[in-house]
């Protein structure tokens, strides 16, 4: 029986990721990186969620501009709002007041442990966003109760599966989150519209 070796598991995952993702030679990078290099990597990787959120936000901007038939000026304003928003700020991730008002949050949750359902903290985070979109945020630049509301998700099979599970077990999401189809009209103010988008590389 082979015993689990934590260090070997971490070594293998790091080396495979670096060589496959960046096309590097298959070497033992784990062995050559010292504490300062690992701290540098940790610092850079701390921004990964912010980078992913920005990319999903831009993909949502493209999606919503097409669906709401926004002109180039409105789309440019949307991109400007996204770019000028500080990470983890109190407002909505994407919003527009004119010519058509709407608000949106962007979620980049990947189900925990490479599974098909969200962990409890992830589930509560989505529920919290649904409630904030429906009830509004004190420091937001726009009143969300008087316009359509959206949550944009990364379009991956495991996220679709986790959202299907979420709709079955969460009263908040079952009542307040409706996923968009091709025929959906955004004429309800009592729900949040769920959207799947795929950022470009």
pLDDT digits (tens, 9 = 90+) for 37-87: 999 988 888 788 888 989 999 999 999 999 999 999 999 999 998 998 877
Backbone angles phi, psi at 145, to 5 degrees: -70, -20
- Tell me the pLDDT of the chain averaged across its residues: 91
Residues 6+ apart with CB under 8 A from 149: 102, 103, 104, 133, 134, 189, 191, 192, 193
Q: What's the pLDDT at 109?
A: 86
Q: What's the pLDDT at 164?
A: 96
> What pTM was estimated for this model as a whole?
0.84
**Which residue is associated with the tokens 């912010």?**
50
Q: What's the pLDDT at 11?
A: 93
Q: What's the pLDDT at 144?
A: 86
Gyration radius (Cα) of the chain, Å: 20
Residues of the chain above pLDDT 90, percent: 72
Q: Identify the CATH number of the domain defined by range 48-197.
A: 3.40.1350
pLDDT one-digit tens code per residue, 117-158: 999 999 999 999 999 999 988 777 788 889 999 999 999 999
Backbone angles phi, psi at 194, to 5 degrees: -90, 135
Q: Are 123 and 170 in contact (CB under 8 A)?
A: yes
Per-residue DSSP letter, 49: H
Q: Which regions of the chain carry the CATH code 3.40.1350?
A: 48-197
Half-sphere exposure of 163 (CA within 13 A, CB side): 25
- pLDDT confidence of 35, banded at 50, 70, 90? very high
Q: How far apart are CA 101 and CA 28, in angstroms?
A: 52
């Amino acid at each position: 029986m082979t015993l689990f070796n934590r260090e070997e598991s971490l070594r293998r995952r790091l080396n495979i990721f670096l060589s496959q993702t960046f096309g590097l030679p298959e070497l033992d990078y784990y062995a050559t990186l010292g504490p300062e290099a690992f701290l540098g990597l940790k610092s850079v990787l701390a921004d990964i969620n912010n980078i992913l959120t920005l990319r999903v936000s831009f993909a949502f901007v493209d999606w919503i501009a097409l669906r709401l038939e926004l002109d180039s000026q409105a789309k440019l304003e949307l991109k400007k709002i996204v770019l000028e928003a500080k990470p983890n700020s109190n407002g909505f991730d994407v919003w527009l007041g004119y010519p058509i008002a709407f608000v949106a949050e962007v979620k980049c949750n990947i189900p925990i442990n490479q599974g098909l359902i969200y962990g409890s903290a992830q589930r509560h985070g989505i529920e919290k966003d649904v409630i904030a979109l429906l009830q509004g945020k004190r420091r937001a630049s726009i009143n969300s109760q008087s316009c359509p509301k959206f949550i944009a998700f990364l379009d991956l099979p495991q996220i679709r599966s986790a959202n299907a599970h979420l709709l079955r077990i969460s009263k908040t999401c079952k009542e307040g989150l409706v996923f968009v189809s091709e025929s959906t009209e955004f004429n309800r103010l009592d729900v949040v519209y769920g959207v799947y988008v795929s950022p470009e590389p």
